[in-house]
Copies of this chain bind each other. A is one copy, B any other.
């Protein structure tokens, strides 16, 4: 998105008959009803190893993340998580169950992270990854993780690893603080 153009043309004010500020185009009056965005991803395993991707794009270029990205229009969250694993790691997964929901409220992002298994161990870097790898718990590059929610998902995966079914964790940065 062209943020410079947005800054110039769009201003925040409250439309008539509304009770919240919205982004309004001062040229044509278009009201952009911004909405929270959905990120879908997975903690995907092959035996005792976890799939991670080293990012080739900003933000956090060079740091390790889970395969995840924005849900597209007309896509279910499960299908989106499978698509992201393919795009970023050429990995083919089967979804097990929802691991957690994370609300990053300061940027209006809701993450749906699934527990999943790799169908085969063949993986390779997609265009948005520098490299991809399968890591045992002790091999995970803890100091080079891209985002706090990657750590959250790995921790919650570890806590529930031996449970065939469980209630997904619902976590919000409002409660976690410091993000």
* Chain A residues in the interface with B (C-beta under 8 A): 1-2, 5-6, 9-10, 20, 25, 27-38, 70-79, 95, 97-98, 101, 103, 105-106, 108, 110, 112, 165-168, 170, 172, 174
A153 to chain B, nearest CB (A): 15
Copies per complex of this chain: 2
User: Which residues of chain B have C-beta atoms less than 8 A from A28's C-beta?
Assistant: 9, 25, 27-28
The 5 closest A-B pairs by CB, nearest first: A76-B103, A76-B172, A97-B167, A165-B167, A73-B108
**Please, how many angstroms separate the alpha-carbon atoms of A13 and B162 in the complex?**
48
Contact B105 A75, beta carbon cutoff 8 Å: yes
A94 to chain B, nearest CB (A): 13
A selection of 25 A-B contacts at a CB cut-off of 8 Å is A2-B31, A9-B28, A10-B30, A20-B72, A25-B25, A25-B28, A34-B73, A36-B71, A36-B72, A36-B73, A74-B106, A74-B108, A75-B103, A75-B108, A76-B103, A76-B170, A77-B103, A78-B103, A78-B170, A79-B174, A95-B170, A97-B168, A98-B167, A166-B167, A167-B168
User: Which residues of chain B have C-beta atoms less than 8 A from A10's C-beta?
Assistant: 30
User: Which residues of chain B have C-beta atoms less than 8 A from A76's C-beta?
Assistant: 103, 105, 110, 170, 172, 174
A133 to chain B, nearest CB (A): 27
Smallest Cβ-Cβ distance to A108: which chain B residue: B73
Smallest Cβ-Cβ distance to A21: which chain B residue: B73
User: Which residues of chain B have C-beta atoms less than 8 A from A37's C-beta?
Assistant: 35
